[in-house]
Amino acid sequence: MRSIYLDHNATTPLAPAAADAMSAAMAECGNASSVHWAGRRARARIDDARVQVAALVGAAPDQVIFTSGGTEANNLALGGLAGGRRLIVSAVEHGSVLAVRADAEICPVDEDGRIDLAALRALLGESPAPCTLSLMAANNETGVIQPVAEAAEICREFGAAVHCDAVQAAGKIKLDWHDLGADLVSLSAHKIGGPQGVGALIVDAGAELMPMILGGGQERGLRAGTENLVGIAGFGAAAAAVPHMAPLEDIRDSIENRIGALARIYGSGAPRIGNTSCIGMPGVLAETQVMAFDLDGIMVSAGAACSSGKVTPSHVLGAMGASAEQAAQAIRVSLGQDSRQADADEFVAAWQRLYQRLGPARAAAA
């Protein structure tokens, strides 16, 4: 049976260019903090990758702080804020943002999952205290693209800083750090064809952050510890290859057009990244769907794949107005560079079979 992988928002296959760069880095020995020849070679590989990752979002190389992934980048951006600073986050942020500060103020979203800009303005106006907004570029569950630039304009009126979790958006839409208006931007390698276990935080020169990992003073003193040379080399190569990624909207739309009359497509009224569809199957639990599709050789996920295999109610869909029952029936289909129309065709056929077997039609006949 052919396996069809439709869970690229969880992780996507290693790009050939990344594998080659990692293999070359593994063939050498050297600590980038050492001043001898081998150390300088290692430092040069990291410097090259820093240039490549910076170019992905139009930043300067010295703004790139390498981390262990998007989660650490988000934690560094928000957990390292100066004491007493307010934090506002949208209601649909990733768990690695929502969990950082228990006192974070939640800004609501509309039924398509886009931040309510009027509510943001009202929240910012409640206190003159210094504030930071954390707003993702694109949602990992629905693919909905947030109006980060518009939110940043409002934040500037109040002197507030902006952090943008761009982990899911990188490589799928054009990202420019200047156009976003963000002071801090989080990235992750394994969402764009790089290896797992490495990410980056883009830090504006004026941003005031406290390090969360202390020790050797690496990464401009913001992230101590010997750099992950092999992972960083792979990240850089993957970032350099991103402009060659093909659009996937046509394949995604072909799925939604054929099942949309029976399913609920979350966020379909808003701009979305082209590879992502969040699909509710009435009457059938998401975990049941995931297992059934897996038996058919099709790999999808139930919401975010960042909870150690747990299937829990989606706070994202809840914030968009879905009931607990509706949210529990939603799966995420996320395409990648190896996805083909034939994969979409097989998914649609499997979805329709499952719907006929377990959905409302069966319940009505019982």
pLDDT tens digits, residue range 215-243? 888 998 889 999 999 999 999 999 999 87
CB 154 within 8 A of CB 120: yes
pLDDT value of residue 257: 97
Q: Per residue in 59-68, is it b (16+ CB within 10 Å) or e — as a string?
A: beeebbbbbb
306 catalytic residue (yes or no): yes
pLDDT value of residue 308: 43
Indicate if the pLDDT at residue 200 is higher than 50: yes
Indicate if the pLDDT at residue 365 is higher than 80: no
Indicate if the pLDDT at residue 359 is higher than 90: no
**How far from 24 is each of 37, 42, 231, 303, 320, CA to CA, in Å?**
16, 11, 11, 36, 46
Enter the CATH code of domain 4-12+246-365.
Answer: 3.90.1150.10
pLDDT value of residue 366: 40
Paired strand residues for 203: 184
Sequence-ordered list of residues with C-beta below 8 angstroms from that of 4, at least 6 positions apart, any chain: 297, 298, 299, 343, 346, 347
Which residue is catalytic, options 107, 155, 164, 306?
A: 306
Enter the CATH code of domain 16-243.
Answer: 3.40.640.10
Counted residue by residue, the chain has a size of 366
pLDDT value of residue 298: 98
Q: What is the mean pLDDT of residues 291-309?
A: 80
SS3 label, residue 177: helix
pLDDT value of residue 16: 96
pLDDT value of residue 364: 45
Sequence spans of domains, the chain: 4-12+246-365, 16-243
With bands split at pLDDT 50, 70 and 90, how would you rate the model's confidence at 161?
Answer: very high
Indicate if the pLDDT at residue 362 is higher than 90: no
Tokens representing 274 are 């082209």
SS3 label, residue 128: coil
CB 234 within 8 A of CB 194: yes
Indicate if the pLDDT at residue 294 is higher than 70: yes
SS3 label, residue 5: strand
Tokens representing 103 are 């006192």
pLDDT value of residue 80: 78
Indicate if the pLDDT at residue 305 is higher than 60: no
Of 153-167, 236-250, 299-313, give the lowest mean pLDDT range: 299-313
pLDDT value of residue 48: 97
pLDDT value of residue 227: 94
With bands split at pLDDT 50, 70 and 90, how would you rate the model's confidence at 309?
Answer: low
Angle at 129 between CA 163 and CA 180, to 5 degrees: 20
Token pair 């990240």 is found at: 235
Residue pLDDT, tens place only, 57-104: 999 999 999 999 999 999 999 987 766 789 999 999 999 999 999 999
